[in-house]
Chains A and B, each alone.
Chain A
Amino acid sequence: MSEITLVDAVNMGLASEMEADPNVVVFGEDVGVNGGVFRATANLQKRFGSQRVFDTPLSETLIAGMSVGMAVEGLKPVAEIQFMGFVYSAIDQLINHASRIRNRTRGRLSCPMVLRVPFGGGIHAPEHHSESTEAIFAHIPGLRVVIPSSPSRAYGLLLAAIRDPDPVIFMEPIRVYRLVKQEVADNGEAQPLDVCFLLREGTDVTLVSWGAMIQEAMTAAEKLAESGVNAEVIDVATIKPLDMQTILDSVAKTGRCVIVHEAARTCGVGAEIAAQLSEQGLMSLFAAVERVTGYDTVMPLFNLEKEYMPGVDRIITAVKRTLEG
């Protein structure tokens, strides 16, 4: 078993599920011959043919809408939106149709589709390529929002997303695409949706994060350990529906919580986690819940993206504030 990157793991997951289930189809802009701008769909067309792996015209509304039509007709569409900044014209289909066709028809029709969207900053990409707008999708009832943070998680969660009977927005952190390598077995085994993963056990503070920010959270935890602070790190993974119990259990143990996300602060998913902590975990808390997030600004062009994105120092400082309380 060789070590692979997150984008390789996505590719391996797609191939594995296409092999296992003839109903899986993969499409989007430049995903066919070109293999995707990030190479996530490389060689899939060669292997599975141009009917099951195909390029669409430049039409994001179409990509989302046809996913709905295909899913209701019994296919398992796994569509790619090239970059986060292009997903917004697909939102009409997600809010008005994908997320509610099961409910509207009382279960007569359903929509098992996956929309893959690369997101996040940190790779000096052009304008409109680097935002983290997962909260928009998390706000839509009926959707699942899943964000892997590592190659192994990407493989296992993607399989689960494709097998899930309901629509999943699968957001892939661009910065981690080739940042880390991991041994991932191509064994067709899915990892569970709707649960958080405990990445590091600790006793003094709970760091809650997802996606690329897991890198910073883990580094901060290592550094904190040097000064004797033992941080627990939780990878939320499924942003919606949110597994609050795992976070509550951790905070019951540590008494402190710092939520780290790259997305803008106001109405970010961190706000929801903090609100639920105050509703259900207040008595466990020794200090106010801290959020370390992107700013409530437009994502800057890449000269300033490092300033925008939460770094290890900001996390450590927030943790220290909770310890002072």
Chain B
Amino acid sequence: MTSQNVKIVKKKHTAFVLDQQQVRSSVHFKILFHQILNADGLIVDNLPEFARQSEQLIALYRVMVKTRLFDEKAVSLQRRGQLGTYASSLGQEAIGAAIGSAMAEDDVLFPGYREYAAQFLRGVTMTDILLYWGGNEQGMNFKWQQYDFPICVPIASQAPQAVGAAYAMKLRDENRVVVCVVGDGATSKGDFYEAINAAGTWGLPIVFIINNNGWAISMPREAQTRAKTLAQKAIAAGFPGEQVDGNDVIILKHRIGQALSKARCGAGPTLIEALTYRLCDHTTADAASRYRSEHELKEQWQYEPLRRLKSYLHKIGCWSDLDEQNLLASCHEQIEKAVNQYLDTPSQPPESMFDYLYQSIPASLKEQRKSVIHWSKNSV
């Protein structure tokens, strides 16, 4: 573009002024990768304040272990026919743990379906999660969590909703932030692009987190986009994006915490791409061996998030074998209790499918409601 055909645009309603300088200058951006605790359990960057307090690290470790054991139990319940299809978070526990511990109580979480650790820290119970995958809507009626959205199955569709919630917070000048978690697959969807574009446009209090576990069911990350990082998609939406080691709970909590603080003080959204790996199948209905090599899976196990944290805790002398034994025992006990509670929960009554459709049942549905009650009692 030559200087002759560059117009100075002064619009009445926007602050945007296109000048010749802007047109002539190139735009540069870079995506940084952050890591503190590497796969060998070594600290490779400055420790943030919270990570100098061992009890904080132990709390993160506890929820990660609990989540892993819960996952294991859920998969085994499914195999025994006591649970429906289940999506495991194996290998990705650090992301949820960091999100859950970084968020404030009245923030709002829009999860995908591998953020159990975050949900547990925010008051969703293991029983809730089991009820959900066990075919009972009560699993989304969280007793101890009034704000958060339930698990979102249609990929990326939670992202525009998260933008709406963040808009509401900004409009009311609240001190709250939305966290929206999607997988790598979601970043190919229009919903995701529309959401980040609007969040950037309006400078909303929202943090987008991509659980990049390398696979969208059978589609590897490289086959999803030619973009070098998923984080750089934020640049097109006008706000910063970065990559972090998604198996390093310290950097995750640190960077998510900073993004939350930034959003909370009105400085707009951030996108954090957490690089992790799906050590499990997509769900219990999937067999990743059909499309993924044993070798790759085996190799990825060395980067998983629990071992490195445990090794670090050992090294700094605040975690013993006895602590580990006690933790495992306590998790097993909690899980057993949750499973029993789940198995003892009766199905929702058949008429419940009508009772929560609208605030009050329209006259046109009353006959159908009677019918479901009748046939539920009289079918053989």
CA distance in complex: A72, B356 (Å): 15
The answer to whether the Cβ of B133 comes within 8 Å of any Cβ in the partner chain is: no
Between B163, B168, B198, B358, the greatest number of chain A beta carbons within 10 A of the residue's beta carbon is seen for B358
Query: Does the CB pair A65–B356 fall under 8 Å?
Result: no
Query: Does the CB pair A59–B197 fall under 8 Å?
Result: yes
CA distance in complex: A292, B300 (Å): 65
A261 smallest CB distance to B (angstroms): 18
Query: Does the CB pair A108–B168 fall under 8 Å?
Result: no
26 residue pairs bridging A and B, Cβ less than 8 Å apart? A52-B171, A56-B198, A57-B197, A61-B191, A62-B195, A62-B198, A65-B163, A65-B164, A68-B161, A68-B164, A71-B164, A72-B164, A73-B165, A75-B171, A96-B157, A97-B154, A105-B356, A106-B138, A106-B352, A107-B141, A108-B146, A110-B359, A194-B363, A241-B362, A241-B364, A241-B365
The 9 closest A-B CB pairs, nearest first, are A65-B160, A69-B164, A66-B164, A241-B362, A69-B161, A106-B141, A73-B168, A69-B165, A59-B194
A108 smallest CB distance to B (angstroms): 5
CA distance in complex: A33, B162 (Å): 26
From known contacts A104-B137, A243-B364, infer whether A166 and B359 are also in contact, taking CB-CB under 8 Å. yes
B87 smallest CB distance to A (angstroms): 17
Would you list which residues of chain A between 224 and 272 have a CB under 8 Å from chain B? Answer: 241-245
Q: For A144, give the chain B residue with the smallest CB separation.
A: B358
Would you list which residues of chain A between 44 and 64 have a CB under 8 Å from chain B? Answer: 51-52, 56-57, 59, 61-62, 64
Q: For A96, give the chain B residue with the smallest CB separation.
A: B154
B375 smallest CB distance to A (angstroms): 18
From known contacts A57-B201, A194-B362, infer whether A65 and B157 are also in contact, taking CB-CB under 8 Å. yes
B144 smallest CB distance to A (angstroms): 11
B43 smallest CB distance to A (angstroms): 39
Q: For A109, give the chain B residue with the smallest CB separation.
A: B149
* Cβ 8 A contact of B160, one of A51, A66, A102, A110: A66
Q: Which residues of A contact B150 (CB under 8 A)?
A: 104-105
The answer to whether the Cβ of A156 comes within 8 Å of any Cβ in the partner chain is: no
CA distance in complex: A71, B169 (Å): 12
Between A57, A69, A108, A165, the greatest number of chain B beta carbons within 10 A of the residue's beta carbon is seen for A69
Q: Which residues of B contact A75 (CB under 8 A)?
A: 168, 171
Residues of B within 8 A of A (CB): 13, 108, 110, 137-138, 140-142, 146, 149-150, 154, 157, 159-169, 171, 178, 190-191, 194-195, 197-198, 201, 348, 352-353, 356-359, 362-365
* Cβ 8 A contact of B161, one of A59, A66, A74: A66
CA distance in complex: A241, B154 (Å): 26
Q: Which residues of B contact A57 (CB under 8 A)?
A: 194, 197-198, 201
B346 smallest CB distance to A (angstroms): 14
CA distance in complex: A96, B195 (Å): 17
Would you list which residues of chain A between 12 and 60 have a CB under 8 Å from chain B? Answer: 25, 33, 51-52, 56-57, 59
Query: Does the CB pair B157–A93 fall under 8 Å?
Result: yes
From known contacts A104-B137, A106-B141, infer whether A73 and B356 are also in contact, taking CB-CB under 8 Å. no
CA distance in complex: A242, B365 (Å): 10
